[in-house]
Amino acid sequence: MAIDPAARSVAVLGPQGASSDLTYDRLIIATGARPVLPDIPGINLPGVCPLHTMGDALAVNDLLERASSSCSAVIVGAGYIGLEMAEALVGRGIDVTVLSRSGRLFPTVDTEFGTAIKNELARHGVHVVRSGNLEEITAAGDGRRLVAHSSEAEGVTADLILVAVGVQPDSRLAASAGVTLGTNGAINVDRAMRTSVPEILAAGDCAETWHRLLQRNLYLPLGTTSHKQGRVAGETAVGRAGRFEGCVGTQVVKLFDLVVARTGLLDCEAREAGFAPTTVETEAWDHKAYYPDASKLRLRVTGDRATGRLLGAQILGTWGKAEVSKRIDVFATALFHEMRVDAMSDLDLSYAPPFSSPWEPVQMASQAWSARL
């Protein structure tokens, strides 16, 4: 495929190899992201799988079905995809080792939560190894399995090696059309999702994301953002005044019986952005402890000491019980409106004993932050 911006046309290769030109008034590039694959010996060996396309998933499934009963897997990467895959593979009875370059799990939340995640993985038999860089993949002596060699750990032998060390924007088509790239090589866009080339728009994992708190573009490929950007790009394309209001960094993941969620900025991110952050952790029951089945939540609130402004929150709780993901959404909505931490107590949130307390845990955590200051 190739774009000719001057002619406003796209050359498309048809199924029979014949090329045809499509002309456009507006063009939206939504080429997404592709997995980062380290350029190391053995990365293309059979049994080494990226996780990107449906085909990748089917290939993994195929390998697992053909594998022996005592199948083992190495997962390279300890982010969302890596850890979600660890849970999925354990569910199929597979012995899983996660190689984490820094030894940190799920660096999108504070190390305090990372430790809880590590314990949860250990409880389900997942081995976590601080590995440094992956350096080479070789065939094992049995000619069937593979060995992952890394800079700071012993080689690990497994039937399957999944590589989930992040994604990069697939902006090659855009670049070839002369579109300006920005952060991390993502397509530079404005709030209406316009690129540097007139009539060409971009949206989704191939493009930059406006961050509402940082007030600048960064590269943060997420499905929720892609949906919003796609809508705005569509509006702009048909001449309506759409505007992407920005992300605040909201994310959630289920890992076995844990749910971990975050929104806004971590303490370190806030400091780097010029705020004066303080983070306070609070423990609270998800609902009234006298009502059956209450479980403990951990909430970390980050606020700005100088202004009292809410900067971020992280919550860790039990899956199926603590409504962690919607609680982070309350913080996300508060961040959207630039609320102060102490104003969280003004929100009229729902209460009945099976669900919460008269002060919602998100409010208790905010009050604990204010009290600490």
Given the complex with its own copies, which of 62 and 338 has the nearer CB atom?
Answer: 338
Number of neighbouring beta carbons within 10 Å of residue 294: 19
Give the 3-state secondary structure of residue 344. Answer: helix
Which of residues 41, 93, 178, 320 is near its own copies by CB under 8 A?
320
Which of residues 217, 302, 325, 366 is near its own copies by CB under 8 A?
325
What b/e string do you get for 119-136 counting C-beta neighbours within 10 Å, with b at 16 or more?
Answer: ebbeeeebebbebeebbe
The amino acid occupying position 162 is L
Residue 245 interacts with its own copies (CB under 8 A): yes or no: yes
Number of residues that bind its own copies (CB under 8 A): 53
Which of residues 120, 170, 304, 360 is near its own copies by CB under 8 A?
360
Residue 354 interacts with its own copies (CB under 8 A): yes or no: yes
Given the complex with its own copies, which of 52 and 321 has the nearer CB atom?
Answer: 321
Which of residues 323, 341, 366, 369 is near its own copies by CB under 8 A?
323
Residue 240 interacts with its own copies (CB under 8 A): yes or no: no
Instruction: Tell me the residue length of the chain.
Output: 373
How far apart CA 258 and CA 117 sit, in angstroms, is 8
Residue 191 interacts with its own copies (CB under 8 A): yes or no: no
Which of residues 318, 319, 340, 370 is near its own copies by CB under 8 A?
319
How far apart CA 5 and CA 176 sit, in angstroms, is 10
Site mask for its own copies (CB under 8 A), range 87-126, x = bound = ----------------------------------------
Residue 332 interacts with its own copies (CB under 8 A): yes or no: yes
Which tokens is 174 given?
A: 């855009």
Given the complex with its own copies, which of 66 and 337 has the nearer CB atom?
Answer: 337
Binding positions for its own copies, 255-314, rule CB under 8 A: 259, 261, 263
Please list the residues that pair with 147 across neighbouring strands: 138, 157
- Three-state SS for 252-319 is EEEECCEEEEEEECCHHHHHHCCCCEEEEEEEEECCCCCCCCCCEEEEEEEEECCCCEEEEEEEEEEC
Which of residues 77, 114, 221, 249 is near its own copies by CB under 8 A?
249
Residue 334 interacts with its own copies (CB under 8 A): yes or no: yes
Which tokens is 181 given?
A: 């790239």
Residue 355 interacts with its own copies (CB under 8 A): yes or no: yes
**What order of strands is seen across the sheet that includes strand 277-285?**
251-255, 258-264, 310-318, 296-304, 277-285
Q: Where does this chain bind its own copies (CB under 8 A)?
A: 212, 222-228, 231, 245-254, 259, 261, 263, 319-321, 323, 325-330, 332-337, 343, 345-352, 354-356, 358-360
